[in-house]
Amino acid sequence: MANLLEIQNLSVSFDTHAGEVQAVRDVSLSLPEGKVLALVGESGCGKSVLCRSVMKLLPRTAKIKSGSIIAGGVDITNYGERDMRKLRGSLFAMVFQDPMTTLNPVMPVGDQIAEAVRVHNRRISKEAAHRRAVELMKLVGIEHAEERSKLYPYNFSGGMRQRSVMAIALASNPRILFADEPTTALDVTIQAQILDLFREIQTTLHTATLFVTHDLGVVARVADLVAVMYAGRIVELGTVEDIFYDPRHPYTWGLLQALPAWSKGRDTLNVIPGMPPSLIHPPRGDAFACRNEYALGIDYLEQPPMVKISETHSAATWLLDPAAPKIPSPIQGGPHAV
C-alpha cells in the first residue's frame, strides 16, 4: 500500500518573546491510502501544529527546523506559498473545528461549494459547477440537495453545516483530508453521523484522513491507525486495536483510564496528575516522566527511543527496554473487555 503522506523527523518551532517554543519535536509518521489516522493528545501537544505544518498554514513565526514532508510522492518541505496554493484543495483539504465560522454567512451554501469547485477547475461552466455542488451535497448525505443548495448557512443545523464544510473540502477530489476536531462543536447524535460519513467517504473515494481529536471514543469509531502525541512527540503509534487493547506507553494508559467509563461506580475519576510541560524548555529525558507513576531513573536523563513491538505497533518508553522491570499494563481487561 502506498503512503500518501510521509513525515520524517519533522521539528517545528515558534519564535516568541519568551523563547523558542518547540511545538513539534522529531515526529515521523506515514499515512497510507484509504486509511484514517487519528492524532490524539492534550491541547498544546502539537497535534494541530503538525497538521498545519503539512498544509503550510502556520503563522510566520513558525519554522520547520528539520525533517521532511513527502506528500503524494513529492517532497514539499521547501515549497513556497505559490506551489502550496496549487496543492491545497487538490492534493489535500482541511475540515475545521467549528462549522459555524467556516462558512460564509451571506452566501448560499450551494454557491460556496460551487465556488470551491471552480477555484480548482477554471474551465468548468457555472451550471456544471452548480450540478457538481449538488452532487457533492448528496455525497455527504444532505437530503433535498437541489432545494437546499439555495439556502444560507443559518438555515442549516450544525450537522448539516459540517456536512457542507466537508462537501467543500471534497470539491476537488483531495487525496488527503485533514480534519481538526471536526465534531467537537456537535452533539453526540450528530457526531456519530459525521464520523460514519468520514468512514464512508474514505471507503468510496480512497482518501487518506488525518483526524485530530482528543476524544478516545471518537477514535474508537473512526480510526484505523492511532498516533498518541505528548509534548510535541509521538509517544505511541499503532493500529486502533493495538492502542485500545494492548497500549504500552504510560501516557496512553493514563488517557484511557481518565475516561469516565473507567470510574464507573467509583467516587472519583482517574486523573493524570500535574500539567503538561512547557515546550519552551522541554525537560531533558522523557517529557512525561514527572507525571508518570511508572517512571524509571533513566526517564529523567535520556529520551526513550521508539521501540517496535510489532509490525504496526511502536512506543517510546523505557519500560519496553529489555533491562526495565516488567510492569503489567493497568488497561488489561479494561472497562469494556469482553
Partner 1 sequence: MPYNDYVSVEHLSHRFRLTRKIAIDAVKDVSFSIDRGEILGLVGESGSGKSTVARCVMGILRPSGGRVTYDGIDVNGARLSSEEKIRLQCERQIIFQDSGSALNPRMSVRRILSEPLDICGLARDRGEREALLIQNLDFVGLDAGILESRPGELSGGQRQRVSIARALLMKPKLIVADEPIASLDVSIQAQIVNLFKHLQAEHGFTFLFIAHDLAMVEFLCDRVGVMSKGRLVELAPTRQLYDAPRHPYTRALLSAVPIPDPRLERSREIPVYRAPEHVTRREWTRVGFDHYVLMER
Binding site for partner 1 (CB under 8 A): 42-44, 158, 185-193, 195-196, 214-221, 223, 240-241, 244, 254-256, 258-261, 263, 267-272, 275, 334-336, 338
Shortest gap between Cβ of 156 and partner 1 (angstroms)?
12
Shortest gap between Cβ of 188 and partner 1 (angstroms)?
4
**How far, in Å, CA of 131 to CA of 300, rounded?**
60
63/221 with CB nearer partner 1: 221
Shortest gap between Cβ of 171 and partner 1 (angstroms)?
26
Shortest gap between Cβ of 216 and partner 1 (angstroms)?
5
130/242 with CB nearer partner 1: 242
**How far, in Å, CA of 121 to CA of 202, rounded?**
23
Shortest gap between Cβ of 98 and partner 1 (angstroms)?
11
77/239 with CB nearer partner 1: 239
Q: Which three cell numbers stand for residue 314?
A: 511502536
**How far, in Å, CA of 280 to CA of 20, rounded?**
6
167/190 with CB nearer partner 1: 190
Shortest gap between Cβ of 269 and partner 1 (angstroms)?
4
**How far, in Å, CA of 138 to CA of 169, rounded?**
14
CB 292 within 8 A of CB 315: no
177/222 with CB nearer partner 1: 222
Buried b (16+ CB within 10 A) or exposed e, 276-303: bbebeebeebbbbbebbebbbebbeeeb
Buried b (16+ CB within 10 A) or exposed e, 208-241: bbbbbbbbbebbebbbbbbbbbbbbbbbbbbbbe
Q: How many CA atoms lie within 13 A of 192 on its CB side?
A: 2
Closest CA to 110 of 140, 139, 131, 88: 131
CB 105 within 8 A of CB 152: yes
**How far, in Å, CA of 107 to CA of 101, rounded?**
13
Number of Cβ within a 10 Å radius of residue 139: 18
Shortest gap between Cβ of 110 and partner 1 (angstroms)?
22
73/333 with CB nearer partner 1: 333
Q: Which three cell numbers stand for residue 254?
A: 493514563
83/241 with CB nearer partner 1: 241
DSSP 194: H
213/303 with CB nearer partner 1: 213
Shortest gap between Cβ of 318 and partner 1 (angstroms)?
22
